[in-house]
Amino acid sequence: MKVILDRIYEGGPFFMVPIVFILIAILVLLVWALLKRETLHKCKELIASLSLFVLVWGFLGQAVGLISAFDAIQSMGSITNEMLAGGLKVTFLTVVFGMFTFLIGRVGMIILTVLDKSQKG
């Protein structure tokens, strides 16, 4: 658990904290839809929107991180390979967490779709 918290802090709270909150919201919506079947359709739509948003949010975090890293490289002149690798690693954290949250949402959508079809059929 400490490793995950370290990665969230390392990726930057501006982008990582919303991703974590959206992951929690998606999980709550999944449980809510499973417990209250009459809300299934609305929950599916909301999960779809949230999962797509979090994916784009992760890529936006990467783009902002890359711009910051390139600004730092430009101002320093020459840098070591270790510095470059460390900067690139940080920019990929938001994308990885965003994609993970997106996949959780999509798997949940598949489960809810199967349950919805079995209810109707």
SS (H, E, C) 58-108: HHHHHHHHHHHHHHHHHHHCCCCHHHHHHHHHHHHHHHHHHHHHHHHHHHH
In the chain, how many domains are there? Answer: 1
pLDDT-flagged residues of the chain (< 70): 121
Domain of residue 10 covers 2-120
How much is the pTM? 0.89
pLDDT of residue 69: 83
pLDDT of residue 83: 83
Residues with Cβ within 8 Å of residue 81, at least 6 apart in sequence: none
pLDDT of residue 17: 94
- What's the distance, CA 54 to chain centroid? 5
